[in-house]
Amino acid sequence: MTGKIRALVCAGALVAGLAGCSSSDGGDSGGKVTLTYAYWDNENQGPAMTKIAQEFTKSHPNIEVKLQFTPNKEYWTKLQTAAAGGTAPDVFWMNGPRIGLYASQGALLPLSDKIAADKMDLGKYPKSLVDLYTLDGKQYGIPKDFDTIGLWYNKALFDAAKVKYPDASWTWDDVRAAAKKLTDPAKGVHGIGAMAWSQEAYYNTIFQAGGYVISDDKKKSGFDDPATIEGLKFWKDLLDQKLSPTVQQMTDNDPIEMFKSGKLAMWYDGSYDASQYFKTEGLKAGVAPLPAGPKGKATVIHGLANVVYAKTKHPQEAWEFVKFLGSEQANRIQAESGAVIPAYEGLQESWVKSMPGLDLQAFIDQLPDARPYPVSKNTAAWARLETDAITKAFTDGQDVEATAKQLATAMNAALSQEK
């Protein structure tokens, strides 16, 4: 009897296992291959992703693409667990801070040979993005889109305070002067939002001051560099002069919402938030290139890439799909949806035109001054230290210089553990 039960259990497990396998892998049913494509932004980019997948199947009838959406907050945890278990999606979105870790740990398929064999021209994408996804001379991702940062401003508040709109000629001094004029404590309006966000805020000013976040050889932190500290102080001064809400206030109330509701006159934010400002009713927003610092102009450029999972069962089909994702056709679909700036050369125009009334050209015009988003092999290990330290430094009564120097020591220790 026990033997029978055992056999039954085994058989049951087998059936369940098989069912599990076939449903998760997609398998080959009738010569058809199903690829899974994972991404994290459904609200803005879901429609474009669906359309791209459909178009791909039209030209590759034997390959079907299953879209797998996971909210950003859980995306990496889920992907990491799946990759460790050998069941990650065949193709998925990748970002700058994670590429080093995923590529160096062998989770991604190197694409260099396939790029060479198919004579794919990487010159069609911004060089800083192609470089972002290159590790030890191997290409791991095909750029999907890119973003730069701009100075957003509320036209109604500028008009009321009779301040000239920002333009390409602005410098840090203009920002400070305008913030002073625009701040109106009685109405709860602040001239600017000085939030301790890296990509949107202080990375840009660090570069504009001539500083750096991480050395080119990825071995040394730049946070003890005087120019870097100057870039941080730009924000700290605005906070100290009460021209911005406190960091605590902006933690309680999302500064993006504050800008939308007319509580902030100026706000540094990326091109990826353009569509939500465009859609906000009652908000007359404008955008200008980032004002120049002591060492000139600079903006952070970052962009996503499509990558192939190293253990995919269908490397050739996955590559075909990634190649399609990087094609002019797929980029055009992205551009017309307006959600992101497509990475493919010459298609930025249609993105700019997708939101009439907003001068989105400011984001494209800054490309010559764009600086790559700072990363190393294990960015996450020091990014957490950095966020905590800089946020702390931006609160009342904290000394930016001392905190930044402590951060540099801690970050150097984290970097020394990278192999």
Partner 1 sequence: MSTAGRAVAVKAAARPATRRRLRDRDWVWGYAMIAPLVLGLGVFYLWPVVQSVYYSFTEWTLFGDATWVGLRNYEQLFTDPANGRALRNTFVYGGLSLLGIPLSIAVAALLGTRGLRLVSLYRTLYFLPVVTMPAAVAMIWTWLYNGDYGLVNYLLSLVGIHGTSWIAEPSTALYALVAVGIWTQIGYNAVIFMAGLQSIPSHLYEAASIDGAGRARQFFRITLPLLSPSIFFVSVLSVINGLQMFDLVYLMLRRGNPAREETQTVVSLFFSRAFEEGAKGYAAAMAVVLMLITLVLTVIQFRVQKRWVHYA
Give the closest residue to 320 by CA, choosing from 117, 21, 51, 107. Answer: 117
Are the C-beta atoms of residues 38 and 49 closer than 8 Å to each other?
no
Residue 387 touches partner 1, criterion: CB under 8 A: yes
Residue 69 touches partner 1, criterion: CB under 8 A: no
b (16+ CB within 10 A) / e for 250-265: beeeebbebbbebbbb
Residue 214 touches partner 1, criterion: CB under 8 A: no
* Nearest CB to partner 1, comparing residues 136 and 216: 136
The residues in 259-298 that bind partner 1, with binding defined as CB under 8 A, are none
Residue 147 forms beta bridges with which residues? Answer: 302
Residue 409 touches partner 1, criterion: CB under 8 A: no
Give the closest residue to 380 by CA, choosing from 419, 415, 408. Answer: 415
Are the C-beta atoms of residues 130 and 296 closer than 8 Å to each other?
no
* Nearest CB to partner 1, comparing residues 216 and 396: 396
Q: Which stretch binds partner 1 (CB under 8 A): 53-61, 145-153, 242-250, 334-342?
A: 242-250
* Joined tokens for residue 16: 């369940």
Q: Which stretch binds partner 1 (CB under 8 A): 288-296, 300-308, 337-345, 378-386?
A: 378-386
Q: Which stretch binds partner 1 (CB under 8 A): 102-110, 140-148, 167-175, 223-231?
A: 102-110
CA distance to 11, 145, 235, 288, 335, per residue, from 270 (Å): 55, 13, 17, 11, 16
Residue 87 touches partner 1, criterion: CB under 8 A: no
**Residue at 177: amino acid letter:** A
What length does the chain have? Answer: 419
Q: Which stretch binds partner 1 (CB under 8 A): 152-160, 251-259, 275-283, 290-298?
A: 251-259
Residue 253 touches partner 1, criterion: CB under 8 A: yes
**Residue at 108: amino acid letter:** L
- Which residue's structure tokens are 């693409």? 65
Q: Which stretch binds partner 1 (CB under 8 A): 39-47, 191-199, 268-276, 350-358?
A: 191-199
Q: Which stretch binds partner 1 (CB under 8 A): 34-42, 125-133, 216-224, 244-252?
A: 244-252
Residue 80 touches partner 1, criterion: CB under 8 A: yes
Residue 83 touches partner 1, criterion: CB under 8 A: yes
Q: Which stretch binds partner 1 (CB under 8 A): 36-44, 103-111, 141-149, 363-371?
A: 103-111
Residue 143 forms beta bridges with which residues? Answer: 305
Residue 247 touches partner 1, criterion: CB under 8 A: yes
Are the C-beta atoms of residues 72 and 39 closer than 8 Å to each other?
no
Residue 72 touches partner 1, criterion: CB under 8 A: no
Distance (Å, whole) CA 35 – CA 170: 48
Least separation in angstroms between residue 213's CB and partner 1 is 17
Residue 418 touches partner 1, criterion: CB under 8 A: no
Q: How many residues bind partner 1 (CB under 8 A)?
A: 32
* Nearest CB to partner 1, comparing residues 260 and 323: 260
**Residue at 262: amino acid letter:** G
* Eight-class DSSP state of 60: -
- Which residue's structure tokens are 């989105």? 360
Give the closest residue to 248 by CA, choosing from 239, 238, 257. Answer: 239
Residue 77 touches partner 1, criterion: CB under 8 A: yes
Residue 268, phi then psi, degrees to nearest 5: -85, 120
Identified binder of partner 1 from the candidate list 115, 196, 232, 375, rule CB under 8 A: 196
Residue 251 touches partner 1, criterion: CB under 8 A: yes
Residue 138, phi then psi, degrees to nearest 5: -110, 140
Identified binder of partner 1 from the candidate list 394, 400, 403, 404, rule CB under 8 A: 394
Residue 8 touches partner 1, criterion: CB under 8 A: no
Are the C-beta atoms of residues 93 and 306 closer than 8 Å to each other?
yes
Give the footprint of partner 1 on this chain (CB under 8 A): 1-2, 76-77, 80, 83-84, 101-102, 105-107, 195-197, 246-249, 251-253, 378, 380-381, 384, 387-388, 391-392, 394-395
